[in-house]
Amino acid sequence: MEVTFQDITLAYPHQAPTLAHFTWTVPDGELTALLGPSGSGKTTLLNLLAGLLTPDHGRLLFDQVDVTHQGMGQRNVGMVFQDYALYPHLTVHDNIAFPLKMAHVKRAEREAQIRQFAALVRVTPFLQKYPRELSGGQQQRVALARALIQRPAVLLLDEPLSNLDAELRVTLRQEIRRIQQATGVTTIFVTHNQTDALQIADTITLLHHGQVQQTGTGHQLYHTPANLTVARFIGSPRLTTLPFAALAPALPDSLAARFASSATLVGIRSEALLATPTPIPLLTTQTMRLTAQDFLGRDIVSHLRWHQQDLISTALPPLAPGEYPLGLAAPGCYFFAANGRCLWTGGTDHAES
Ligand SMILES: Nc1ncnc2c1ncn2[C@@H]1O[C@H](COP(=O)(O)OP(=O)(O)OP(=O)(O)O)[C@@H](O)[C@H]1O
């Protein structure tokens, strides 16, 4: 089921619109991550989809059918929340059976479907247990089965991994991916966690201040960000930015001249700053001062100073503080205009215009 938000405007009482002329299409059968910081409008979009909110203007289409004024019951949207929301007094079996009972599905058919969906989400051994007897990850899988058994047109997953520890989070991420591929149900996975989005989704839409900043694969958002907001939100450690003017004297003349009047900021990914020689250098070798290193297991985060600017590298070996000749590789560097638009990427996939 393709979902389209068409020119939607929504304002909460006594507030500027949270969404203004918002247009977004969620492709049929894919797992789309809706990624954005707190307050960006994710929950508002989910509530519009579920039928809990009605827009002031614009239309919501499910496969080109206008559902804007349909109630929750008519839309057949499945939802899984961060806090599982299972019925505590019902067994796993009865939790999964609940939507079918409501729909008056006959017992034999119901039992066959419960077996099928319990197997799909791998909770068959727990069918007679109660939610309190299960781990968070197991409960979340039951919640998924309960949402899927009603054959939803669209499945909404609202921060479903937030309450899980790091290890369970990774496992359940893979499980959700597998289950979505097995069922092919159009799924929107809402999260503020870029790692979840990058690992799970076919496509990511990055939302900020109620506006789509960019839609694409994780690779596209990372390597060819549409603007500074995307480049800063995706990637860890966070993108370092310098005034274009600080870097310009060390840039090749043609590049410096071409962007002199349009670029105001340069963004540098931590992996672009390396011990010379760099394969595709953006600058000639520069002497930089290493001030400190953080040892984070496999990664070493190096803190550097260069022309009164702070830089970060994750591509240096363990070194003592001091001066070092370092190179800046073009891939991983971006130029931004004053309005944040990305004008140039140093990678092979150019966002140049
Ligand atoms: N019921 C409400 N009444 C008034 N303003 C609201 C209401 N719900 C949300 N807002 C405002 O709308 C904007 C978007 O909020 P929303 O909850 O959709 O963001 P979010 O991305 O889901 O944030 P979070 O990740 O913190 O849940 C925020 O500025 C918020 O203050």
| Higher pLDDT pick, 228 / 140 | 228
Q: Tell me: pLDDT of 168 over 90.
A: no
Please tell me the residue having the least CA distance from ligand 1 atom 9: 44
Tokens encoding 154: 């669209």
How many angstroms is it from 42 CA to the middle of ligand 1? 8
Query: Which percentage of the chain shows pLDDT scores above 90?
Result: 71
Q: Tell me: pLDDT of 352 over 70.
A: no
Task: For residue 45, give the ligand 1 atom closest to its CA.
Answer: 18
Give the model's pLDDT for residue 293: 96
Instruction: Give the residue-averaged pLDDT of 50-56.
Output: 93
Please name every residue paired with 266 in a beta bridge, in sequence order, or none if there are none: 242, 335
Mutate to test the pocket of ligand 1, among 10, 22, 38, 43 (most ligand atoms within 8 A of CB): 43
pLDDT digits over 219-256, tens only?
Answer: 999 999 999 999 999 998 989 999 999 999 989 889 99
pLDDT digits over 144-166, tens only?
Answer: 999 999 999 999 999 888 877 88
From 3.40.50.300, 3.10.110.10, 3.40.50.150, 3.40.50.80, which CATH number describes the 3-229 domain? 3.40.50.300
Q: Tell me: pLDDT of 350 over 50.
A: no
Q: Tell me: pLDDT of 275 over 50.
A: yes
Element spanning 256, H or E: helix 253-259
pLDDT digits over 175-234, tens only?
Answer: 889 889 988 999 999 999 999 999 899 999 999 999 999 999 999 999 999 999 999 999
How many angstroms is it from 31 CA to the middle of ligand 1? 23
Please tell me the residue having the least CA distance from ligand 1 atom 2: 12
Give the model's pLDDT for residue 164: 78
Please write down the HEC assignment for all residues of 157-217.
Answer: EECCCCCCCHHHHHHHHHHHHHHHHHHCCEEEEEECCHHHHHHHCCEEEEEECCEEEEEEC
The answer to whether the CB of 78 falls within 8 A of the CB of 147 is: yes
The answer to whether the CB of 146 falls within 8 A of the CB of 123 is: no
Instruction: Give the residue-averaged pLDDT of 16-40.
Output: 95
Task: For residue 192, give the ligand 1 atom closest to its CA.
Answer: 25
| List of residues 6+ apart from 329 with CB closer than 8 A | 272, 273, 274, 278, 279, 280, 281, 282, 346
Indicate the range of 113-117, 227-231, 272-276 predicted with least confidence. Answer: 272-276
Task: For residue 40, give the ligand 1 atom closest to its CA.
Answer: 21
Mutate to test the pocket of ligand 1, among 40, 48, 83, 208 (most ligand atoms within 8 A of CB): 40
Please tell me the residue having the least CA distance from ligand 1 atom 26: 38
Q: Tell me: pLDDT of 353 over 70.
A: no
Q: Tell me: pLDDT of 341 over 70.
A: yes
Please name every residue paired with 155 in a beta bridge, in sequence order, or none if there are none: 78, 187
Instruction: Give the residue-averaged pLDDT of 327-351.
Output: 86
Please tell me the residue having the least CA distance from ligand 1 atom 12: 18
Query: Which percentage of the chain shows pLDDT scores above 70?
Result: 98
The answer to whether the CB of 311 falls within 8 A of the CB of 283 is: no
pLDDT digits over 81-97, tens only?
Answer: 877 689 999 999 999 99
Mutate to test the pocket of ligand 1, among 5, 8, 14, 15 (most ligand atoms within 8 A of CB): 15
Whole-number Å distance between alpha carbons of 301 and 264:
26
pLDDT digits over 276-321, tens only?
Answer: 777 788 888 889 999 999 999 888 999 999 988 999 999 999 999 9
Instruction: Give the residue-averaged pLDDT of 324-351.
Output: 87
Which of 212, 180, 182 is closest to 5 using CA atoms?
Answer: 212
Give the model's pLDDT for residue 298: 86
Q: Is the CB of 162 under 6 A from ligand 1?
A: no
Q: Is the CB of 36 under 6 A from ligand 1?
A: yes
Using 50, 70 and 90 to split pLDDT, how confident is the model at 349? Answer: very low
Domain ranges of the chain: 3-229, 236-345
Instruction: Give the residue-averaged pLDDT of 15-40.
Output: 95
Q: Is the CB of 82 under 6 A from ligand 1?
A: no
